[in-house]
Amino acid sequence: MNAHLNEQQFGELVLGTGNAEIAGHIEACDVCRAEAEDVRTAISDCRELAQQAAEHDEIFWARQRLATRQRLARHRFIPHVRWVATAAMVLVVSAALLLTRAPQPVQQANNDAADDVLLQQVQSDLGRDYPAALAPAVLIDEERNSALSASAKQSSNQ
Amino acid sequence: MENAQEITGCAVADFADFDALVLAEQRRIYRVLLAMLRDPDAADSLTQECFLKAYEHRKRFRGECSMRTWLMRIAINLARDHVKNRHWQFWRKLFREPSGSEQGIDSVDTLEPVDPHASPERSLLARERLAQVSAVVDNLPNQQRAVFVLRFLEEMSIEEIAQATSLRSGTVKTHLFRAVSAVRERVKERRNR
């Protein structure tokens, strides 16, 4: 193999899943072998430093456990508070809806009065001999009749 | 600790001994979160959050993977959400504090091993080495960094990483190849300097 290891082959090598061909290349190629060694060293350094950075004394871990337990206790309590708050909110909204939907007393009285007036108008319309719309025609007819009767009287007097 | 091992190793845990679970896994979860976030305070807070989430969603745990892997999945998701929020906070702070007082979000200071007895020369060398090595991980995209940390720092198998990150095994391997390739390039650069 003349070319050096590609990305995938190099990755397989570092992951420890390389095949015989990759192993053979590493045996023969000084460049890839040196690179692989450097990469392994860098990764090993990373691991070591990450572990060192995460090291703390037992007080730190005990404090973390205590804080976790305290947060858990608060967390257990909060759902109950949420339920109570939700129930209270539902009650308030329901009450508000009921109050706004009930008719106001003054408005109810005004409506009743308007209904009475309308009923009276209907009653008086029903009591008429003719519809209100024909009132002008009736007046004309009455005037014509009175004029005719007047002329009839004059002619009888003569 | 033996009891804790049993809890995390078994397929289904009933959270009967929650304290034992925290005791068994807190170091590991904290270490992964610190490696991913470079922020000790956030790693501490999110470690607690991880156990709270695990308790809250304990009924969702059906034993398809180990408790340890399931906890790691919660931790990875928390770290991802934290990074998203942190970017937003960075921009907010930038506009609020234009004087440049914002520290680099990936400052290597947070990963420096505490050794108050080291000589100044030794501290300097350690700091330089730390900066070089941390730059390798820092420059990886989030997903690659997560699989890199789980594989090379925690030595998890590809299948476990796939379960912890909700990725396919093939995708995990692709991320790992790219991460290794990035490390390779970085090492090459360092050698050529």
pLDDT of residue B2: 44
The CATH classification of domain B117-193, taken from the options 3.40.50.620, 1.10.10.10, 1.20.144.10, 2.60.120.620: 1.10.10.10
Pseudo-torsion of CA B40, B41, B47, B48, nearest 10°? 160
**Is the Cβ–Cβ distance between B5 and B24 less than 8 Å?**
yes
Which domain range does residue A34 map to?
7-53
Q: Which helix (H) or strand (E) holds B122?
A: helix B120-138
How many independent structural domains does chain A possess? 3
Contact call for A51 and B153, based on CB within 8 A? yes
Nearest CA in chain A to B134: A46
Q: Identify the top-confidence range among A72-81, A149-158, B110-119.
A: A149-158
Neighbours of A22 (CB within 10 A): 19
Q: B1-98 and B117-193: same fold?
A: no
Distance from CA of B6 to the nearest CA of A (A): 19
Residues B131-187 have pLDDT tens digits of: 766 777 778 888 899 999 999 999 999 999 999 999 999 999 999 999 999 888 888
CA count, 13 A, side-chain hemisphere, B32: 33
Q: State the Cα–Cα distance between residues A72 and A65, nearest whole angstrom.
A: 10
What is the gyration radius of the CA atoms in chain B, in angstroms?
18
Between A and B, how many residue pairs show a Cβ–Cβ distance under 8 A? 103
Q: Which residues of A56-91 are buried (b: 16+ CB within 10 A; e: fewer)?
A: eeeeebeebbeebeebbeeeeeeeeeeeeeeeeeee
**Measured between beta carbons, which residues in chain A are less than 8 angstroms from residue B19?**
65, 69
pLDDT of residue B104: 36
**Measured between beta carbons, which residues in chain B are less than 8 angstroms from residue A70?**
none
Residues A96 and A111 in one domain: no
Distance from CA of B126 to the nearest CA of A (A): 10
B101-105, long-range: CB within 8 Å, 24+ apart, which pairs? B105/B38, B105/B39
Contact call for B180 and A49, based on CB within 8 A? no
CA count, 13 A, side-chain hemisphere, A83: 4
Q: What type of residue sits at position B30?
A: Y
Of A38, A50, A67, the CB nearest to B31: A50
**Is the Cβ–Cβ distance between B142 and B37 less than 8 Å?**
no
ipTM passes above 0.95? no
pLDDT of residue B101: 38
Residues A7-57 have pLDDT tens digits of: 889 999 998 888 888 999 999 999 899 989 988 988 888 888 888 889 999
Of B111, B152, B178, the CB nearest to A43: B152
**Is the Cβ–Cβ distance between B112 and B130 less than 8 Å?**
yes
Contact call for A10 and B180, based on CB within 8 A? yes
Q: What percent of chain B lies above the pLDDT cut of 90?
A: 39
Residues A75-90 have pLDDT tens digits of: 776 666 778 888 899 9
Q: State the Cα–Cα distance between residues A87 and B91, nearest whole angstrom.
A: 40
pLDDT of residue A4: 87
**In chain B, where are the structural domains located?**
1-98, 117-193
Distance from CA of B95 to the nearest CA of A (A): 32
Residue A112 within any structural domain of the chain: yes
Q: State the Cα–Cα distance between residues B186 and B45, nearest whole angstrom.
A: 32
The overall pTM is greater than 0.80: no
pLDDT of residue B120: 74
Look at residue B50 and tell me whether its pLDDT is greater than 50.
yes
At the topology level of CATH, where does B1-98 sit? Answer: Rna Polymerase Sigma Factor; Chain: A (1.10.1740)
Given pLDDT bands bounded at 50, 70 and 90, which one contains residue B96? Answer: low
